[in-house]
Amino acid sequence: MTSSQYKVIGSRPLRPDGVDKVTGRAVYGADVKLPGMLHGKILRSPHAHARIVSIDVSAAQALPGVRAVVTARELPSVGDTVTDLGESVVNLRYMSNNILAHDKVLYHGHAIAAVAADNPHIAEEAARLIKVTYEVLPHVLDGRAAMAANAPILLPDLRTNELGKQGSSQTNVAEHIRHQRGDLAAGFAAADVIVEREFHTATVHQGYVEPHAAVALWNEDDQILVWCSTQGSFGVQEQMAELLQVPPSRVVVTPTEIGGGFGGKNSVYLEPVAALLSRKAGHRPVKMTMTRAEVLFGTGPTSGSYIRVKMGATRDGTLTAAEAEMIYEAGAFPGSPVGAGCGVLFGPYKLENVQVDGYDVVVNRPKSAAYRAPGGTNAAFAAEAVVDELTEKLGIDPIAFRLHNAVREGDRRADGPELPRIGFIETLEAARDHAHYSAPLPGKQRGRGVAAGFWFNWGGKSSASASVNADGTVNLVEGSTDIGGSRASLAMQLAETLGIPYADIRPQVVGTAGVGYNEGTYGSRTTFSTGWAVYELGKKILDEMRQRAATHWDVPVDGVTVQDGTFAHNGDSMSFRELAGQLEVPVSVSASVFPSGFGPSFAVHIVDVEVDVETGKVEILRYTAVQDVGKAIHPAYVEGQLQGGAAQGVGWALNEEYVYDDKGRLVNASLLDYRMPTALDLPMIDTVLVEVANPGHPYGVRGVGEVPIVPPAAALANAIYQATGVRMTELPMSPARVSAALLAAAVPA
């Protein structure tokens, strides 16, 4: 397929919500204001691990202007129900415990109680007046330390799911999983070169610029109305229903515009608390917003990890075996992305002999949440560094080595299934042929690094509906939160299907009351799955319109053709618009899909750095992200995904980390000291969109949003090695760490 087949797909129109967003009119979570609205505030734990002996809310309740105070007592008790909330599998009892601590606090910043008051200042004052007595317990922050025999136990009832069997003793290890194929010993025996290294990565946060915000109204008729910034309104509905033990139909969720999510806005935090406060405060709406410190204390992050990787290859550069052990810190409750990490780790390579062991370990840090290709950056940082070392030892060009071992259609993933048509080879070739890869890089302490990345992607359930207006425009009603331009990419697919101009599609994102079920905007699924739904809508509209045309001409419907938005019969023709203006019976359709033909994505990143060997600071000189994007519906927004993912990966690689003191308290919970990249920390990020159409989608779409965060840390580590001869094995590769490593290796200035 070539893009010239399409009239709309592949063009770069302005987004439908653009003007609202550049004029400040768009309504985000914190912008919602309802009559009689109260303001809520949460009290959080000052300790990393402590038993709650008592909570005295009397002083808070007595403060003028305070309307309600709630603690975990107000949350219904939920049993050990394990449920699939789309982006992750969660035990609801743990989730409830994370919303408001029941008998123990498990991390610094764990929510304990909440207040609703006439204004946010009073709510904050009141929260400070709640007296909590604690019995402080020993804490553990590191995954491997938490696995030790004498480690403090976080969850007394937790037993390891050990390779499918339930353990019998207390532990912090929630799960041990394994992927295994072939004969590891034989594979390593066949290798001429074996490299084995250990890696560490820090806890990092999604870092969306909009803090969490929600308004809830628990009405007198027991309807719970929620307005919030979320990646998925149906996910909020399900979680609210489970946590508050009410039927889902009683929860109506209206999503606002969302100021970034990256996986971190799938879970609820504030919404159930605001609902409880609303009910207790006489059914008045309650707005809750987090401060930035609360966002860092109590939401996200993604797991810190320990990863050991061993890989072997023959002299001609063929990988013969790969083995790894991955320990991911889940935070206070089980559920790290170690499973995904295990899949991403060797995802780009064809391997017959492979074993990956993964451990999901609880520690006294915030409960981890999904973060863009969850678990993938950690894994690629480790595996791609080992691959780089193999290529060096074998004297083979890094991209040539990857091309030699790259997976292609029909090869097996580590967990078994065969891969469908993928574009990894094409992506590697595009990287190899890019001017960046062959450009000279003169100068001292400069180096170029390359790394590859893999991500599964996801399809998932989507619904949408549409109706034809008399002026020939089409209302598109969809339920997928638009975080980066999906209104445009969906409207474009509908316009293409209908054969009418993009400007004639009027997309609107609505909540649970306005459209059929949708999974959230996660897993790189929206343009793919909701795109499928929209394609179905288009076909249904054309079918109905053909029937209307047939009635109009009084001919059999079989005789009516439609092409490029024009209906025709025996020389008579009518444009979509003309027909729309003459509809006696309106045309409105809906579609629901659960497509499974989502295809995985592959990316190759190239980065040039200069290392100030006197200070340890790494400057990025040039960056190119190459990726198989299936078919780029709106190329500018696809480029934006690649650039944004690369930038987040750079932050993760170089400076971002949670820093704790010896009492287990998070000390850098601000955007001053949690150091995300600024405009001065990055160069322009060049992108190459490789278009290998996904056969599982009518327009060849494959998810593009997640894989770009997978290679950056590894690419940077490999570049730093080329610049200095020192291999960094710990993230972030902050100046202090790089400087220490350079001094230890006696690298001359």
Partner 1 sequence: MKSRVIVSTTINGEPTEFLCEPRQSLLEVLRDVLGLTGAKEGCNNGNCGACNVLMDGVLVNSCLVLGVEAESHRIETVEGLAVNGKLHPLQQKFLEHAALQCGICTPGFLLSAKALLDHNPDPSEAEVRHWLAGNLCRCTGYDKIVRAVLDAADSA
Partner 2 sequence: MPHDVWIPPVHRDLTHGVERVAVDGSTIGAVIEALDAQFPGLAARLTDGDRLRPGIAAAVNGVVASRGLRQKLTDASEIHFVPAMAGG
Partner 3 sequence: MQQFRYIRAHNVEHAATLLLQHDGRARILAGGTDLIVALRERRLETELVIDIKGIPEVSELSFDPVEGLRIGSSVPCHRIYNDATIVAKYPGLIDAASLIGGIQIQGRASLGGNLCNASPAADSIPALIVHGAICDIALPQTRRRVPVEAFCTAPGKTVLERGEFLASLHLPPPPPGFGAAYLRFIPRNEMDIAVVGVGASVQLDESRQRITAARIALGAVAPTPLFVQEAGDALIGAEPGDEAFARAAAIAQAAARPISDMRGTAEHRRHLVGVLTRRALAIAVERARK
Residues binding partner 3 (CB under 8 A): 121, 124-125, 614-617, 654-655, 659, 667-668, 671-673, 675, 677-681, 734-736, 739-740, 743
CB 498 within 8 A of CB 62: no
Using the minimum distance from each CB to partner 3, give the nearer residue, 31 or 124. 124
Choose among 74, 57, 75, 72: nearest CA to 123: 57
Binding characters for partner 2, 487-526, by CB under 8 A (x = yes): --------------------------------x--xxxx-
**How many angstroms separate the CA atoms of 329 and 305, rounded?**
6
Using the minimum distance from each CB to partner 1, give the nearer residue, 212 or 540. 212
Task: Compute the least distance from the CB of residue 215 to partner 1, in Å.
Answer: 13
Task: Compute the least distance from the CB of residue 484 to partner 3, in Å.
Answer: 24
Using the minimum distance from each CB to partner 2, give the nearer residue, 449 or 700. 700
Binding characters for partner 2, 587-626, by CB under 8 A (x = yes): -------xxxxx----------------------------
CB 661 within 8 A of CB 602: no
Residue 637: name its binding partner from partner 2, partner 1, partner 3, none (Cβ under 5 to 8 Å by kind): partner 1
HSE-up (13 A, CA, CB side) for residue 703: 28
Using the minimum distance from each CB to partner 2, give the nearer residue, 361 or 450. 361
Residue 415: name its binding partner from partner 1, partner 3, partner 2, none (Cβ under 5 to 8 Å by kind): partner 2
DSSP secondary structure string, 21-79? HHTT-S-BGGG---TT-EEEEEEE-SSSSEEEEEEE-HHHHHSTTEEEEEEGGGSPP--
**How many angstroms separate the CA atoms of 552 and 579, rounded?**
9
In the numeric block, which tokens belong to residue 684? 């322009």
Using the minimum distance from each CB to partner 3, give the nearer residue, 175 or 610. 610
Residue 522: name its binding partner from partner 1, partner 3, partner 2, none (Cβ under 5 to 8 Å by kind): partner 2
Maximum distance among all Cα pairs of the chain, rounded to whole angstroms? 88
Q: Which stretch binds partner 2 (CB under 8 A): 284-292, 449-457, 489-497, 567-575?
A: 449-457
Using the minimum distance from each CB to partner 3, give the nearer residue, 81 or 615. 615
Task: Compute the least distance from the CB of residue 342 to partner 2, in Å.
Answer: 8
Q: Is 249 exposed, middle or buried (0-12, 13-18, 19+ CB in 10 A)?
A: exposed
**How many angstroms separate the CA atoms of 253 and 463, rounded?**
16
Task: Compute the least distance from the CB of residue 691 to partner 2, in Å.
Answer: 21
Binding characters for partner 2, 263-282, by CB under 8 A (x = yes): xx------------------
Q: How far is CA 136 from the centre of its chain?
A: 34
Asked if the bond preceding 732 is cis, omega within 30° of 0, the reply is: yes
Task: Compute the least distance from the CB of residue 83 to partner 1, in Å.
Answer: 28
User: What is the three-state SS of 723-742?
Assistant: HHCCCCCECCCCHHHHHHHH
Residue 644: name its binding partner from partner 2, partner 1, partner 3, none (Cβ under 5 to 8 Å by kind): partner 1
Residue 734: name its binding partner from partner 2, partner 3, partner 1, none (Cβ under 5 to 8 Å by kind): partner 3
Task: Compute the least distance from the CB of residue 637 to partner 1, in Å.
Answer: 6
Pairing type for strands 601-612 and 617-628 reads: antiparallel
Residue 531: name its binding partner from partner 3, partner 1, partner 2, none (Cβ under 5 to 8 Å by kind): none
Task: Compute the least distance from the CB of residue 741 to partner 2, in Å.
Answer: 30
**How many angstroms separate the CA atoms of 284 and 286, rounded?**
6
Choose among 428, 370, 423, 439: nearest CA to 403: 428
In order of 76, 364, 652, the CA distances from 110 in angstroms are 19, 10, 24
Task: Compute the least distance from the CB of residue 83 to partner 2, in Å.
Answer: 6
Using the minimum distance from each CB to partner 2, give the nearer residue, 167 or 443. 167
Using the minimum distance from each CB to partner 1, give the nearer residue, 28 or 517. 28
In the numeric block, which tokens belong to residue 679? 């405009």
Using the minimum distance from each CB to partner 1, give the nearer residue, 107 or 208. 208
Task: Compute the least distance from the CB of residue 528 to partner 2, in Å.
Answer: 12
Q: How far is CA 424 from the centre of its chain?
A: 22
Reduce the DSSP state of residue 162 to 3 states and report it.
Answer: strand
Residue 614: name its binding partner from partner 1, partner 2, partner 3, none (Cβ under 5 to 8 Å by kind): partner 3
Using the minimum distance from each CB to partner 3, give the nearer residue, 27 or 659. 659
CB 363 within 8 A of CB 305: no
Packing angle of the helix pair 376-394, 338-345 (nearest 10 deg): 20
Per the DSSP assignment, residues forming a β-bridge with 66 are: 117
HSE-up (13 A, CA, CB side) for residue 686: 17
Using the minimum distance from each CB to partner 2, give the nearer residue, 162 or 578. 162
**How many angstroms separate the CA atoms of 256 and 248, rounded?**
20
Task: Compute the least distance from the CB of residue 134 to partner 3, in Å.
Answer: 20
Residue 423: name its binding partner from partner 1, partner 3, partner 2, none (Cβ under 5 to 8 Å by kind): none
Tell me if 262 contacts partner 2 by CB under 8 A: yes
Task: Please select the residue that binds partner 2; options are 236, 281, 321, 419, rule is CB under 8 A.
Answer: 419
DSSP 349: B
**How many angstroms separate the CA atoms of 528 and 114, rounded?**
40
Residue 417: name its binding partner from partner 1, partner 3, partner 2, none (Cβ under 5 to 8 Å by kind): partner 2
Choose among 303, 456, 449, 451: nearest CA to 378: 303
Choose among 117, 116, 100: nearest CA to 52: 100
Residue 370: name its binding partner from partner 3, partner 2, partner 1, none (Cβ under 5 to 8 Å by kind): partner 2
Using the minimum distance from each CB to partner 3, give the nearer residue, 511 or 677. 677
Asked if the bond preceding 35 is cis, omega within 30° of 0, the reply is: no
Task: Compute the least distance from the CB of residue 641 to partner 2, in Å.
Answer: 12
Task: Please select the residue that binds partner 2; options are 53, 148, 163, 186, rule is CB under 8 A.
Answer: 163
Q: What angle do CA 455, 174, 601 make, to 5 degrees?
A: 0
Q: Which residues bind partner 1 (CB under 8 A)?
A: 12, 14-15, 17-19, 21-28, 30-31, 33, 121, 206-211, 257-262, 289, 291-292, 483-485, 636-637, 639-640, 643-648, 670-672, 676-680, 682, 684-685
Task: Please select the residue that binds partner 2; options are 16, 29, 40, 86, rule is CB under 8 A.
Answer: 86
User: What is the three-state SS of 461-489?
Assistant: CEEEEEEECCCCCEEEEECCCCCCCHHHH
Sequence-distant (6+) residues with CB within 8 A of 367 are 94, 98, 107, 330, 331, 332, 333, 335
Tell me if 420 contacts partner 2 by CB under 8 A: yes
Task: Compute the least distance from the CB of residue 612 to partner 3, in Å.
Answer: 9
Q: Which residue has the tokens 């425009």?
A: 473
**How many angstroms separate the CA atoms of 126 and 533, rounded?**
48
Residue 165: name its binding partner from partner 1, partner 2, partner 3, none (Cβ under 5 to 8 Å by kind): partner 2
Using the minimum distance from each CB to partner 3, give the nearer residue, 186 or 743. 743
Using the minimum distance from each CB to partner 3, give the nearer residue, 96 or 734. 734
Reduce the DSSP state of residue 672 to 3 states and report it.
Answer: coil
Residue 594: name its binding partner from partner 3, partner 1, partner 2, none (Cβ under 5 to 8 Å by kind): partner 2
Tell me if 180 contacts partner 2 by CB under 8 A: yes
In the numeric block, which tokens belong to residue 401? 């080595």
Pairing type for strands 50-56 and 131-136 reads: antiparallel
Using the minimum distance from each CB to partner 1, give the nearer residue, 21 or 663. 21
DSSP 590: E
Choose among 650, 624, 649, 652: nearest CA to 639: 624
State the residues that interact with partner 2 by CB under 8 A.
Answer: 82-84, 86-89, 163-165, 177-181, 206, 261-264, 337, 339-340, 342-343, 370-374, 415-420, 455-460, 519, 522-525, 594-598, 696, 703, 706
